Amino acid sequence: MGDHPVGSRWARILVPVGLVAGILVALVAGGSPGPGGEAAVPGHLAVGMPAPDFVAPGLSGGTVALAHYAGHPTVVTFFTTLCGECLGDLGVLEPVYRRYRAQGLVIVGIGVGDTAEDLRQAARQYRVSFPLGLDERGDRVAVSYGLTMVPTTVFVDRDGVVRAVVRGALRGAALERHLAEILPEGLQ
C-alpha cells in the first residue's frame, strides 16, 4: 500500500505542529519565572513583546526575513494550503496589502508544512503579491512564534513590537482594528 499524497501532506503539517506543541509543553513545565513571577517561555509570543526575527526561504528566491522590513508596520500570517480558512485569509489580506502598502504596510505570509509548489499554486490562485516564505517542517519560524494553530496572524508595529495576535480566521472589524493599531496614521 503506497502513501496517499494528501496523507503525506497532512503528516508534514501535523508533525511540525505536534513538535511545536511538545516543545511548548516542555518549556512551560520547565520555564523559569519572569519579572512578574510568570513563567518566561521562549517561543511564546505575547502582545507588547518584540517580534522574533526570522529568516525563511522566499518563494521568489532569496530569503524572507523580518529584519528586511524594520521600521515598517508588518503583518505576518502563518498558513497552510490545506486549510480553507488560511487560504481565505490570503484572499482577504491581498487587497489590504494593495490598499495600504503606500502607507508602508508590509504583509508576509509564512507557509507552514507546505512545499514551494504548494505555495506557488496558492499564490497564483489568490493573486498574492506580498512576500511568501517557506517553513516546510515548521522549525524555522513557527517555533520562535510559538505557533499552535493555523491560521495565525501577528500584527507588528514599526518599532518591531507585537500589537496583536489573532489565532483563527481574520475578517472584518477585527482586521480593521488591528491594522489601525499598527498603521502610522491609522486607517485612511
Give domain 5-182's CATH superfamily. Answer: Glutaredoxin (3.40.30.10)
> Can you tell me the mean pLDDT for 22-40?
35
| Residue whose cell numbers read 510559538 | 146
Q: Which pLDDT does position 32 carry in this prediction?
A: 34
Output the nine-digit C-alpha cell for 23.
Answer: 516543545
Q: What is the mean pLDDT of residues 43-56?
A: 90
pLDDT tens by residue, 88-125 = 999 999 999 999 999 899 999 999 999 999 999 999 99
Residues 6+ apart with CB under 8 A from 27: 41, 42, 43, 44
**Is the Cβ–Cβ distance between 179 and 96 less than 8 Å?**
yes
Residue 158 identity:
R
pLDDT level of residue 43 (50, 70, 90 thresholds): low
| pLDDT value for 63 | 96
- 169 secondary structure, DSSP code: -
Show the CA angle centred on residue 178, arms to residues 59 and 82, nearest 5°: 40
DSSP labels, 97-129: HHHHGGGT-EEEEEEES--HHHHHHHHHHTT--
What pLDDT was estimated at residue 188? Answer: 52
User: Smallest Cα–Cα separation from 18: which of 154, 117, 112, 81?
Assistant: 112
Comparing 2-6, 29-33, 40-44, 118-122, the range with the smallest average pLDDT is 2-6
Over residues 140-172, the pLDDT tens digits come to 899 999 999 999 999 999 999 999 999 999 888
Average pLDDT, the chain: 81
pLDDT at 186 over 70: no
pTM reported for the whole predicted model: 0.78
| 25/54 Cα distance (integer angstroms) | 22
Average pLDDT over residues 13-33: 41
**pLDDT value at residue 187:** 56
User: By the 8 A CB rule, do 119 and 57 touch?
Assistant: no
Instruction: Kindly state the percentage of the chain with pLDDT values over 70.
Output: 76
**Which grid coordinates belong to 60?**
521568489
